[in-house]
A and B are shown apart, each in its own frame.
Chain A
Amino acid sequence: QLQLQESGPGLVKPSETLSLTCTVSGGSISSIKYYWGWIRQPPGEGLEWIGSMSYSGTTYYNPSLKSRVTISVDTSKNQFSLRMSSVTAADTAVYYCATNPCITCGLDLWGQGTTVTVSS
């Protein structure tokens, strides 16, 4: 059974780069024709889609974050990653990794989420 687990620093300084990893277990990321994505939720607020990468390497990003975000896949480690540059306090949120079988499909598997605080 496929499972996802986020990991990364819980505290990032303003203007620095946020880096998170999602480890996939229960299956090989290189053989599963899925889309690998990131969603975040600021404290007390709703969900915001950050972006996704397809199994073929196509990336899709939220236009409001596109200039600062990179999603990549490391098949050797069975992981996919999120990098967000020039962070501010507004990027403080719980970050979730999630998957879906197509870009317009429902996100049917989620990680438990990891809290990232941007503060000096």
Chain B
Amino acid sequence: QSVLTQPPSASGTPGQRVTISCSGSTSNIGSRTVNWYQQVPGTAPKLLIYSNNQRPSGVPDRFSGSKSGTSASLAISGLQSEDEADYYCAAWDDSLNGRVVFGGGTKLTVL
């Protein structure tokens, strides 16, 4: 059971906008910033969003992040076939002397 909760799957058609939610608690999302990772099957994860809503260089502005209270969201607009991947949220958790916690991951299918 993951500390952060994500829906196991999401889907959309090309051009559509999809959102993926990530729910946590006051010891992680509620008091820390959220990071998002994209993992194409068979490859290493890639940092997609950091500090709730910042994009690393090279990440298209179709990807955006937001946070409110103990929840966060990743939005992908103008969905493309290459966006089909697994997406993970993560945050630092202040419980148990501190640790990085991940969501269970959301498999995004582009129909």
Interface residue ranges, A against B (CB under 8 Å): 37, 39, 46-49, 52, 60-63, 96, 103-108, 110-113
Contacts and interface: CB of A to CB of B under 8 A. Distances in A.
B99 A46 contact: no
Given A108-B56, A112-B44, A63 B102 contact: no
A108 B105 contact: no
B35 interface: yes
Given A106-B35, A108-B50, A113 B102 contact: no
Given A104-B92, A106-B50, A49 B100 contact: yes
Given A39-B45, A46-B104, A103-B100, 9 more contacts: A37-B100, A46-B105, A47-B37, A47-B90, A52-B100, A63-B96, A106-B49, A107-B45, A110-B44
Contact of B88 (A46, A52, A112, A113): A46
Interface string B22-54: 000000000011010101000111110111000
A92 B88 CA distance: 20
Interface of B: 2, 32-33, 35, 37, 39, 43-47, 49-51, 56, 88, 90-92, 96-105
A71 to B, nearest CB: 13
A74 B100 CA distance: 24
Contact of A96 (B35, B45, B105): B45
**Residue in A37, A60, A63, A107 whose Cβ sees the most chain B Cβ within 10 Å:** A107
A111 B103 contact: no
Contact of A110 (B46, B99, B102): B46
